[in-house]
Amino acid sequence: MIGATMVCPACSGCGLVWRTEPQAHAVPCEACGGKGRVPAVARADFERERDARVAAEAEAARLTTCLRRANATLEETERALYLEAQAAEAARDRLRAASQALAGIDAATLDAVTPAAMRAVMERRGWRLDCALPWFADQTQTAWESWEHATAQGAGSRGGGPRTVPDVQIAVLPGLVAKDHRRGVAEWAWALATRHGDVSPAEVLAEALAAGVAT
């Protein structure tokens, strides 16, 4: 004997229910399998299941909206940080240019300072070559030389990490563009002057230029 049936409370007998994600569309009713009728049981059971399903769909929709908003906020934050970093880099370039102008250091001066001249200054001032640091994109190429001095002042670094002994690095990567070479020379002169504490970057560059002429 076939058991008694009743109109499916979940789909009201049509056999279909609507879903809103990812977009509005009709799907077969899970409660009745798309038939529109179910075994005759207490309506309260179906209503509880229906309410639970509706609540779950509403929560899923809420979480999806929150996720989209969070992603949008993250993208805005990343863009703001990128713009801030660009502005900071531009400010550093302007400050470096102003400092060089005040010290009478121009591009031609920085272009004339070679790694060999920088090494000569380091050796004359008692520095010793500690190690060679590879280029991050090609570990077979040396990008910097790290030099140490027993009485150097300040904090050192290697690969972004702190060191007990302060160092001065010389950029020696072949094929550096003019801008990167000049920045490397300016940073070297500043670092060497800072480590000694009794000489200016302009004096360090003058020594390097003299060493370049001598060699």
What is the chain's mean pLDDT, rounded?
A: 81
Q: Are residues 122 and 207 part of one domain?
A: yes
Q: Judge residue 69's burial from the number of C-beta atoms within 10 Å of its C-beta, 0-12 exposed, 13-18 middle, 19 or more buried.
A: exposed
Q: Are residues 113 and 57 part of one domain?
A: no
Domain count, the chain: 2
Q: Is residue 92 part of a domain?
A: no
Q: Is residue 101 part of a domain?
A: no
In tens, the pLDDT along 92-124 reads 776 666 566 556 677 888 888 999 999 999 999
**How many CB atoms are located within 10 Å of the residue 131 CB?**
12
H-run or E-run covering 141? strand 138-148
Residue 34 is predicted with a pLDDT of: 85
What does the pLDDT average to over 29-50?
77
Helices (H), 5-42: none
Q: Are residues 60 and 117 part of one domain?
A: no
Structural domain including 150 reads: 107-214
In tens, the pLDDT along 143-171 reads 889 999 888 876 554 444 555 567 899 99
Residue 165 is predicted with a pLDDT of: 60
Residue 180 clears pLDDT 70, i.e. is over it? yes
Question: Quick check: 39 and 79 in contact, CB under 8 A?
Answer: no
Q: Which of 34, 49, 65 is the last residue in one of the domains?
A: 65
pTM of the predicted model, to two decimals?
0.49
Question: Quick check: 194 and 166 in contact, CB under 8 A?
Answer: no
Q: Are residues 187 and 114 part of one domain?
A: yes
Residue 42 pLDDT class (50, 70, 90 cuts): low
Q: Are residues 112 and 38 part of one domain?
A: no
Q: Are residues 113 and 36 part of one domain?
A: no
Q: Which of 35, 50, 65 is the last residue in one of the domains?
A: 65
